[in-house]
Structure 1
Amino acid sequence: MRSCAESFSEYALRALGRDYGANLLPRGLDITLCDQLFLIGGGLIWNVYFACLALVIGFGLAVVVAVARFSENPFLSRPAGAFIFIFRGSPLFIQFFFFYSAFVLLPRAGIDIPLGFLTLTVNTSALTTAQVGGVIVLVLNTTAYSAELFVGALRAIPKGDLEAADAYGMSGFTKFRRVVFPSMLRLAWPSYTNEAIFLTHSTTLVFLSAFPARQQSGEAFYYARYFVDQTFNPFVAYPIVAAYFILLTLAIIGLFGLANRRLNRHLPKVQRPRLRFRPTYIR
């Protein structure tokens, strides 16, 4: 029976690959509580990787899509609206399967997919990995949801702020940078915090879908399912992964709360909006 120190050295970083821990995962009666704690905790590295990368890229894309959707130009607003509708209207789990099929199955069948900047062929193997293909799906999904939040915030900006910017002679990008963008963030931030939390929870779907875990290198929920299959006991591994995600959620609320106070630093404390976690049960 392994000690907790041995479990830590063998499985704390095992989620990064076989070069960072034991060659094989624990099996059967050899599995200890420490094995599950450290291996599931190590898998959380990938959840954080997926969430951070998708949030950073998706935030920038969401601002662009929201501005296009808010535009009075139909050649900008209609494609942006269609993009938002498609990715908000379809389940995320289906999106994972669809994109994996597009990245793998069609090229394998001899059907190349030209994207302009890239042609998907059987040799574009990076897109079939969770580290690349899975991130693309998460980015597109959070872009659509975040853009809709930002559009609502753009519509809620007080007209007096815009009129004041016009009175000061601001126009174009200066007006957007000094007035529109900060106001949009301030109004949308509490809802965007919930989007960040939901996206982090959604990272458990990456390996649950068709994207493979190479060398048994997966995220937290991947290892929780592995331990349940080995021990036939869901009352240890699943509570462990749930506890890890609760801690991760608290960390997100804390970090986004600091940003929220920064965005509303000009308001009296009694008028500053407080962040509230409102889980989305149906998406």
Structure 2
Amino acid sequence: MSCLQTLQDYGLRAVGIGERLLPKSDFTLCDQVVLIGSGMIWNVYFATAALCMGFFASVAVALARNSRHGLLRKPAEWFIFIFRGSPLFIQFFLFYEAFTLLPREGITIPLGFTEITAETRWLTRAAAGALIVLFLNTTAYTGQIFHGALRAVPRGDLEAASAYGFTPWQTFRRVSFPTMLRLAWPAYTNEAIFLFHATTLVFFSSFPAWQQKGDALYYASYFADKTFNPFVSYPILAGFFILGSLGVIGLYGIAYRRLTRHLPRTARKPLRLRAATLVR
């Protein structure tokens, strides 16, 4: 089988398009690259969806954390403390048990947009349940990052906005929010890379890969088990994640240049790729 035929048969297998049966023997390098690359679709889905939803939720959490009202501040503080203080893998485990065992005992869990009952089995699948866990986790971390940046907004900027007669909403929209993003963006880029890497934990969590529609680690582990050689499939997986990390840094670098376009060139600090960037 040619590599082009392999790409046609297995390129979208992770999302249910193409051959249903996995190759059983005579694995080629092309087979492993194509199938692991197919599984990366799920890792990109988890990271992209969690980051997009978590961005807006984290802004709300940061504002609540910065509020003078205890009814807003305390829940935000506890939310950040719980999700930053507990391991992500344990969060996967607890949420899966909550989505399966509690409804089985007749205990319903209201989420606002839906109610978890014995009929909401879709939440036990990785596409939904694991995404919820990743969303809550990145919301807590990013909320703390944004809160720190919000507290670091120069007081002189706020006083200047007040002198111009800005309302509180105008001050936030034109001064506080853009400055908060600019100050937080390097750390937020680091969080985005970490979350992208953390999507590999979905494979180890209790959330099943429905109809073998697994992520990249699912296929890498499959080839390692079949060939008894982890030194081919896992380096391929690492290569895909390195390329993905470079893509994240590139996209966030473009956004960072947009956020700092009004600053003098001497005051701009470019967002550069460094080894420390890949560590939370």
TM class by shorter chain equals over 0.9
**Aligned residue identity for 1:32:** T
Matches within 5 A, 1:224-239: 224-239=220-235
- The TM-score with structure 1 as length reference comes to 0.94
User: Using the alignment, how far apart are the partners of 2:35 and 2:80 within structure 1?
Assistant: 37
Partners of 2:109 and 2:175 in 1: CA distance = 42
Q: Which stretch of the first structure deviates more once superposed, 99-108 or 142-151? A: 99-108
Name stretches of at least 5 consecutive residues in structure 2 with no aligned partner.
none
1:156 is matched with which residue? 152
For residue 23 of structure 1, the aligned residue among 20, 24, 34 is 20
User: What runs of 5+ residues in structure 1 fail to find an aligned partner?
Assistant: none
SS of structure 1 residue aligned to 2:203: coil
- Structure-2 separation of matches of 1:190 and 1:112: 40
- How far residue 26 of structure 1 moved from its aligned partner, in angstroms, is 1.1
Which residue of 2 is the match for residue 40 of structure 1?
Answer: 36
Query: Who is 1:54 aligned against?
Result: 50
Answer whether contact 1:190 1:274 (CA < 8 A) is retained: no
CA contact (8 A) 1:208 1:222 kept: no
In the alignment, the residues of structure 1 paired with residue 279 and residue 249 of structure 2 have an alpha-carbon distance, to the nearest angstrom, of 15
Letter matched to residue 144 of structure 2: E
The CA deviation string for residues 80-119 of structure 1, in whole angstroms up to 9 with x for no partner, is 0000000000000110111011001221233333445533
Q: Which of the residues 107, 124, 128 maps onto 1:111?
A: 107
Matches of 1:151 and 1:50, distance apart in 2: 24
Contact 1:70 1:151 in 2 (8 A): yes
Distance 2:178 2:107 in 1: 45
Tell me how far apart the structure 2 counterparts of residues 269 and 200 of structure 1 sit (CA, whole Å).
31
Who is 1:242 aligned against? 238
Contact 1:99 1:137 (8 Å CA) reproduced: yes
- Tell me the distance in 2 between the aligned counterparts of 1:118 and 1:9: 38
Q: Does 1:208 align with 2:208?
A: no
Give the TM-score normalised by structure 2: 0.95
Paired residues, what number?
277
SS of aligned partner of 2:40: helix
